[in-house]
Structure 1
Amino acid sequence: MIVPMQKVIVLSRAAGREADLLSLRQLGVLHPVLEQAVEHEDIEGERRRLDYIRRAAEVLPNLPRAQPSGRSPGEVVDELSRLLRLRRETAEELERLRQECARVSPFGDFSPGDLAALAGKGVFIRLFQAAPDSRPVVPAAAVCLETSRTRTAVSFVIVTVGETPEIAAQELRPPAMSLAEIKSRIGEMEATQARIADQIGCFAGDRAALADMRAEAEEAVQMAEIRAGMSCAAAELVYLQGFCPSDDVPRLREAAGKNGWGLVIDEPAASDLVPTLIRNPRWLKPIESVFELIGILPGYREIDVSLWFLLFFSLFFAMLVGDAGYGAIFLGLTLWAQRRFPTSPTHAFTLLKITSVATIVWGVLTGTYFGIPDLPAPLAALKLSWLGDEEHVKDLCFWIAAIHLSIAHVWNIANLIRSPQALAQVGWLCVVWFMFFSARSVVLNLPFPSIMTWVFGAGVVLIVLFMTPRRNLRDEWFNHVMLPLNLVGSFVDVISYIRLYAVGTASFAIASTFNIMLAPMFDGWLSGLLAALLLFVAHTVNIVLSVMGVMVHGIRLNTLEFASHLGLQWSGFPYRPWQRMRPTSP
């Protein structure tokens, strides 16, 4: 459920602002809202310090058994910053040397000092490059030596005595050092890079200390921003406004009494941008992993769809993957990963268990195990023959569409039951079922009930009459203009659920095709080994494609089709209370 919020203004004495902010942060229930972005020297200084620490901390390798260096976090950050600067300078010099090596290599190894000495005696050796098909005119008294030719360029030197005539080609400046010296310097730079990497690795055991230091710096940035963003209520009073969950208001009142704060608590106004806090029971928390993965959240005044999202996402996952063998693999990998990473969030693993079991159940009911066509009798007996008919599966997709979208409109009716707009939602409910029977008629050639035409007409009338409150007609008249497109869109939404059949069938077809193609190769042990390897690769690719199908289609049907019928715009932003980022020191 979406937790109700209260709009809060905390008043404090300007002289005690620092202590009051620390107490408020320790309480950790207020989502602060700054009236305007404030720039201040203190804020910029704290941000620079945070960036300094962050860049140092990010380069440390993750070596769980590494021992701390024994140096203070500040010294470690300074040393890492020095090493980073040296690494950057080394990388720049190495890149310059490699470019110089590539430029000079076509002319071979020679001493630039010898060229200068010969030039002092009137013998000039100049380096040139030209297109392979060009023929530069060379003076008769000059000597031209081609040193290298590639598809893109020809390199040559011209030797003259006493003069330097113009040549119709690109002249290159002589290098500052010989090719051998350049390669030697490249080796030195590469050795320096390796040495720097080793020196950075010596501080791997300080990751935890630097993480604490980074959290402290982030707290300092937040403190500076909020301190500077507090508004003045009077000469000696400042205030901070924000939002607090309604059930945490008593704690805030208690803290205000202890610290001598003034409090103004009110319901959020319609124009307020209120953060969203969702608190679900434990069995619903797994779906929060999907919300976090794709970065969506219902707005404060919208509807929490966690329950229906979890139920239908699990069903969509099962139908899109569609293979009991794949589901068993997912379940096994999930159990292994949960043991391998015991500190990871449990609700993500729980979601994978739910979807894996759902996939296994669907695969058993459809008789799909790694795309094997002929199943052993015990497995074949578990198959539901009704699902063996493709037309039945398509029909099931349309039933799922109608039920899924109907839930959205019934929910809207319940929320608008005191408003005439509830009748418009009844109209949309009629439209959904008309589109359901239309889709079955068009795709499956099933008979269309004639009464549904009257149901559709009644639904459209209800929508036109009650979709917009009379007082809002002047501002929202465009909704009526868009109604024909929305009606067509409703049909498209119902049809789009056929993707559950299409993607699942494609996955089975890929697996079955590879099984049939590679089956003859199992006659010999060597060819059988190759066939097993190819089957492993094929099924791995198919599993990846199935997961991609879930990410694209399974999530879309919930976040787009279902959400649009519900009027859910996913406009929320998370409730982030101002609180400590580090454990309080004992």
Structure 2
Amino acid sequence: MIVPMKKISLVVLENERKGALKDLRKLGLLHVEEVQGSSEELSAFKDQNSKIEKALAILTEIKLGKKDSLKPTVIGKEAAFDVAKNVLSLTDEKKSCYDRITNDSVELERFAKWGGVDPADFAELGEKNLHLAMYEIPSDKYALVGDEAKTVVVGKDKSQTRFILVSEKPLAVNERPEGIPAEAYQVPLPRISTAALKKEIADSKDRIAQIESELKSAVQYKDSLKDSIKGIAKDIELENLYSGMGVEEKLSWITGFVPVDSMAKFESFAKEKQWAFAASDPSDDDNVPTKLKNNKLVSLIYPLTDFLGTVPGYHEYDISGWFLAFFTIFFGMIFGDGGYGALVTAVALIFILKSACTGKKVPPMLGLVLLLGIATMVWGAVTCTWFGLTPEQLPDWIIALSVPPISNAYADVQWLPFWTTDSSAGTLGTAQNLQIFCFTLALIQLCVAHLKGMARYIRDKQHRLKFLGEFGSFVQLIGMYWVVLSMVVDGNVFPLMGGDVYGLPWGTISIVLVGGGFAFSFIFANYEGSIGKSILESVKNIISVLLGVVNVFSDIVSYIRLWAVGLAGAAISGTVNTFAGPLVGHAALFIVLIVLLVFGHGLNMILNLLSVIVHGVRLNTLEFSNHLGMSWAGFKYEPLSE
């Protein structure tokens, strides 16, 4: 169930607001409405948090060898921030070293054919009125250099000639000396001597090695950095609320939500602290958090919904129980193999017993895994599917556990519909029976959605006639179920016209139900106090209203994915066994056989798990939720806490 909330408006003295927030954090009941605070302290906390997160990301990427193994060291929040600043500083310095190496290497490459060059030597000669300039020119153009230019050739190859111009006066910037052709390029002097550049590169490489050693040493503080992030997050939360609280005439106020079943404790605490507050029911416009409360069995679904991040809105439905029930069935059908289910069950039991023996609380996730493993075993038993083995390879007692109409052991048998003994109307094979089972699941789950909708509106005096709109959708589903069976399974067994089942023409009835249900939905689905306005609204949206009928058909058909994906998994496991078959009985290839079976079936289990996430979850969060009118627009109740 979704726990009802009370909206709380709390008023305290302005000079007591920080202490009040700390007290509320200790109480751990008030979910505070979002505020946007602003202060220097808040900016400082955010800056700390940002730097620590960046440092942690850097340390996480560092690979440690066996010789570098370090034991985690616990330090405080302030020390962790100092470590983070040091890590960021070292990282920036390391980057600077790499940039320096790159730039110096490019500079050395520029003077590789000139030999050693030192700007100090050029300056010293300049002081003696002997000014030198370095030039390069294409070798075939060197003859263009005039006689009036005093030059000394330093080096020459096929492409370039390097020479030094000797002048008695300094050359201005961009000055073209007399006798130097346009094809000649003046080579700028290096920043420092080439020898110094080489030393700078070597020093930078040494410093990089030192920095990497220091960063590896800082890895021991990773856990402390993680803890400090959590602590600073609490500081940010508190400071944001403190700076964002309303203040007027020495009073401060804050609003939030408290579960109804915790109001007595909140009132007692507020009375003890001498706080003034007002409690009221949330309005439709309030952004109310959602707190779910269910028994231990239903709560097994929480690890999955937390992983998916799906939270119903405060005014929506809590479908945790239905979600768990149908997801368990879907999981068993998609995994589909009793052998796989036995493995999952065994692993869950091992970890549950391990937790019990060590005195630790059994995580809910293990309970969910155990339930899903058992469901898979049950489905594998009723369909006679065990590690992809053929029925001939299984003992008789396992075959006896299966349900013949949907069992692989009876795949060649044709079954009469349960309502007749006359085979002239057609028969059904195992695959068709499984398809019928999938569509029946669809009918049950989607009908549950509209029954919940009818129950909701019949209690709503203002919108009570919307109950008839939900009723129309309900009967549309029942009629469309037969249409799906006729069009997808077998049109002879499930004809659209006639179709005598215990004396009733269900084909004809289904058409009437679809038409009648559509009429009820058309008239009452948009009811807001006036039937005429409701019909007018449907007329305005006639395209989407008509498409709604098609959507009912497609939503039911969508459940065939349970059979199709399970069939694909069974085919893969059978293929693995086919490949492994020739290796059985060869002692020398025993290890190869084991590796092939473990890899093949392991990969199939992983693919099945992905299929569950894609398909099993989808049927609950899309098809089922759409018929409920749910958008999963909620967010979790998260009170201020230490």
Q: TM-score, normalised by structure 1?
A: 0.83
Q: What does 1:557-576 correspond to in 2, within 5 Å?
A: 557-576=619-638
SS across alignment from 1:244 = strand
> Are the equivalent residues in 1 in contact too, given 2:573–2:604 (CA < 8 A)?
yes
Is 2:371 the counterpart of 1:357? no
The partner residue of 2:405 within 386, 395, 398 is 386
Distance 1:480 1:68 in 2: 67
1:66 aligned residue:
71
Give the counterpart of 2:241 among 226, 245, 265. 226
Aligned pairs for 1:74-223 (under 5 A) are 74-94=78-98, 97=101, 113-114=115-116, 143-144=156-157, 158-161=160-163, 184=202, 188-189=206-207, 191-203=209-221, 207=223, 213-223=228-238
1:510-547, Cα deviation, whole Å (9 max, x unpaired): 12123213422446455554344333322222122111
More displaced 10-residue stretch of structure 1: 340-349 or 22-31? 340-349
Q: Does 1:466 align with 2:468?
A: no
Matched, 1:413 2:454: yes
Cross-structure match for 1:273: 287
Identify the residue that residue 513 of structure 2 maps to in structure 1.
455
What is the CA distance between 1:254 and its match in structure 2?
1.2
C-alpha change, 1:73 and 1:274, in structure 2 (3 Å) is: closer
CA distance in 1, matches of 2:361, 2:626: 33
Which residue of structure 2 lines up, in the alignment, with residue 482 of structure 1? Answer: 544
Tell me the equivalent position of 2:126.
Answer: none
Q: What is the match of residue 45 of structure 1?
A: 44
Distance 1:255 1:564 in 2: 42
What code does the residue aligned with 2:252 have? V
Deviation at 1:259, TM superposition (A): 1.7
Contact 2:303 2:364 in 1 (8 A): yes
Say which is worse superposed, 160-169 or 89-98, in terms of deviation.
160-169
Pairing 1:21–2:21 present: yes
Tell me, in whole angstroms, the C-alpha distance in 2 between the residues paired with 1:168 and 1:284: 85
**2:146 maps to what in 1?**
none
CA contact (8 A) 1:109 1:178 kept: no
Mapped to 2, the partners of 1:434 and 1:507 lie a distance apart of: 32
CA contact (8 A) 1:276 1:575 kept: yes
Q: What is the distance in 2 between the residues matched to 1:57 and 1:161?
A: 54
1:43–1:344 CA distance, 2 compared to 1 (3 A): farther
What are structure 1's unaligned runs of at least 5 residues? Answer: 127-135, 146-156, 581-586
CA shift, 1:567, in A, is 1.0
User: Which residue identity is paired with 1:196?
Assistant: E
Give 1:326's aligned amino acid. Y
SS of 2:529's partner is helix
Q: Which residue of 2 aligns with 1:578?
A: 640
Whether the 8 Å contact between 2:288 and 2:314 is mirrored in structure 1 is: yes
Distance apart, 1:355 and its partner CA: 0.7
Q: 2: distance between equivalents of 1:112 and 1:40?
A: 60
Instruction: Measure the CA separation in 2 of the matches of 1:295 and 1:429.
Output: 29
Higher relative contact order at CA 8 Å, sep ≥6: structure 1 or structure 2?
1
Query: Within 2, Cα distance between the matches of 1:122 and 1:64?
Result: 56
Aligned length: 551
Q: Is the 8 A contact 1:511 1:538 kept in 2?
A: yes
Contact 1:115 1:125 in 2 (8 A): no
Matched, 1:294 2:308: yes
- Percentage identity across aligned positions? 26
Residue 512 of structure 2 is aligned to residue 497 of structure 1: no
Counterpart CA distance in 1 for 2:245 and 2:362 is 36
* Equivalence for 1:516: 578
- For the pair shown, which has the larger CA radius of gyration, 1 or 2? 2
Q: Give, as a single letter, the amino acid of the residue that structure 1 aligns with 2:8.
A: V
2:487 matched residue in structure 1: 442
Question: Structure 2 stretches of 5 or more lacking a match?
Answer: 123-130, 144-154, 166-179, 409-429, 496-506
* C-alpha distance after superposition, 1:193-240 (max 9, x if no partner): 441233213446xx35x55544443222222211222223x5232211
- In 1, distance between residues paired with 2:188 and 2:385? 68
- Aligned position for 2:477: 432
Taking structure 1 as reference, are residues 25 and 410 closer, same or farther at Cα in structure 2, changes over 3 Å only?
same
CA deviations on 1:397-420 (whole Å, 9 max, x unpaired) are: 111111111111111112222411
Aligned to 1:114, the other structure's residue is in SS state coil
Could you list the per-position Cα deviations for residues 316-368 of structure 1 after superposition, in whole angstroms to 9, with x for gaps in the alignment? 11111111222223233434555778878711111111111111221122222
What RMSD, in angstroms, separates the aligned Cα atoms of the two structures? 3.8
Once residues 447 and 33 of structure 1 are traced to their aligned partners in structure 2, the CA distance between those partners, rounded to angstroms, is 56
Q: Residues 323 and 620 of structure 2 are in contact (CA less than 8 Å); yes or no, is this contact kept in structure 1?
A: yes
* C-alpha distance in 1 between matches for 2:601 and 2:638: 43
